[in-house]
């Protein structure tokens, strides 16, 4: 299972090469293929996969909205979402738009429920720091023993009551070091994986591209943020959202 590719084609290629060697019964994306410097190439690779299912992430949803509403890139736009969405929308094909729009909100496979943020919402967060009482609310109604999520770009594996929650981490934009492509192999037991690839070359290629936020994207890839600090930020945002 993979998540949060965010248009990083070299990272996705490295993971798919390893996945191909493992020859799993099914490949599942837990959201956010979209965004980033090579979104078109990433979507082409995912569309060509055999035995694959796709769960919608918040970025996937917004990029479909950007295409449908005809967003355009404005370098003076103060909102990063609008700026990124405009840049992507100008380069997105109808085929790619329809592919993203086909993603499922959640996916139940055997004993596993796959979501992006939480089972309730593609932009709601579940982290390794989320209090158990809050997780019980987020997981209300879930009848599978394993829940796989993404969204926070930080791998973890924790159990609350009878439910095991596993975050795949991010293939293309990890918030943990060392920078690599993080994903999940789900067999008899969930196995958190990390696949190395040429991050420095990828960052150089991003800098040389016409991507609207190339310098920041390259720097973040080379110097990922601290995972604990990022999860604390997510928790503060989740608490603000729940109290509003």
Look at strands 112-114 and 107-109 and give their pairing: antiparallel
Question: What domains appear along the chain, each with residue ranges and CATH number?
Answer: 9-243 (3.60.21.10)
What count of Cα atoms within 13 Å lies in the side-chain half-sphere of residue 227? 19
Give the CA distances from residue 89 to residues 5, 100, 208, in Å, rounded to whole numbers and listed in that order: 18, 12, 21
Listed residue (187, 110, 96, 192) closest to 143, CA to CA: 110
Cβ-Cβ contacts under 8 Å for 199 (sequence gap 6 or more)? 179, 180, 221, 222
pLDDT score of 89 = 97
pLDDT score of 241 = 85
- Residue 144 in contact with residue 115, Cβ under 8 Å? no
- Residue 105 in contact with residue 122, Cβ under 8 Å? yes
pLDDT score of 18 = 97
pLDDT score of 200 = 98
| pLDDT tens digit sequence for 62-98 | 999 999 999 999 999 999 999 999 999 999 999 999 9
CA dihedral 100→222→204→9, nearest 10 degrees, is: -20
- Distance separating the N- and C-terminal Cα atoms of the chain: 33
The pTM for the full model equals: 0.96
Question: Given CA atoms 235, 237, 120, 56 in this order, what sign does their dihedral have?
Answer: negative
pLDDT score of 72 = 97
Question: pLDDT 10s digit of each residue in the chain, 244 long?
Answer: 999 999 999 999 999 999 999 999 999 999 999 999 999 999 999 999 999 999 999 999 999 999 999 999 999 999 999 999 999 999 999 999 999 999 999 999 999 999 999 999 999 999 999 999 999 999 999 999 999 999 999 999 999 999 999 999 999 999 999 999 999 999 889 999 999 999 999 999 999 999 999 999 999 999 999 999 999 999 999 999 888 7
Burial 119-150 (b: 16+ CB within 10 A, else e): beebbbbbbbbbeeebbeebbeebebebbbbb
- Residue 5 in contact with residue 179, Cβ under 8 Å? no
**Alpha-carbon distance 53 to 63, whole Å?**
19
| pLDDT tens digit sequence for 174-193 | 999 999 999 999 988 999 99
Give the CA distances from residue 233 to residues 21, 139, 182, 197, in Å, rounded to whole numbers and listed in that order: 37, 21, 20, 28
Token pair listed for 153 = 């770009």
**Alpha-carbon distance 168 to 140, whole Å?**
21
What DSSP designation does 2 have?
A: B
């Amino acid at each position: 299972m993979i998540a949060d590719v965010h248009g990083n084609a070299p990272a996705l290629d490295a993971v798919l090469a390893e996945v191909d060697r493992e020859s799993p019964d099914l490949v599942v994306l837990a959201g956010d293929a979209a965004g980033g410097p090579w979104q078109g190439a990433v979507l082409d690779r995912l569309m060509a996969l055999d035995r694959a299912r796709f769960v919608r992430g918040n970025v996937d949803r917004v990029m479909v909205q950007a295409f449908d509403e005809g967003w355009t890139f404005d370098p003076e736009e103060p909102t990063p979402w609008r700026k990124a969405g405009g840049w992507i929308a100008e380069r997105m094909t109808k085929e790619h738009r329809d592919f993203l729009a086909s993603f499922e909100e959640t996916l139940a496979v055997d004993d596993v429920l796959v979501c992006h943020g939480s089972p309730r919402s593609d932009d709601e967060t579940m982290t390794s720091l989320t209090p158990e009482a809050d997780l019980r609310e987020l997981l209300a109604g879930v009848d599978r023993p394993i829940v796989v999520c993404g969204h926070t770009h930080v791998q973890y594996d924790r159990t609350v009551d009878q439910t095991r929650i596993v975050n795949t981490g991010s293939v293309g934009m990890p918030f943990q070091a060392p920078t690599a492509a993080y994903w999940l192999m789900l067999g008899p037991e969930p196995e958190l994986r990390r696949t190395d690839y040429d991050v420095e070359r990828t960052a150089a290629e991003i800098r040389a591209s016409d991507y609207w936020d190339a310098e920041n994207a390259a720097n973040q890839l080379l110097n990922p943020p601290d995972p604990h600090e990022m999860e604390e930020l997510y928790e503060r945002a989740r608490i603000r959202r729940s109290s509003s």
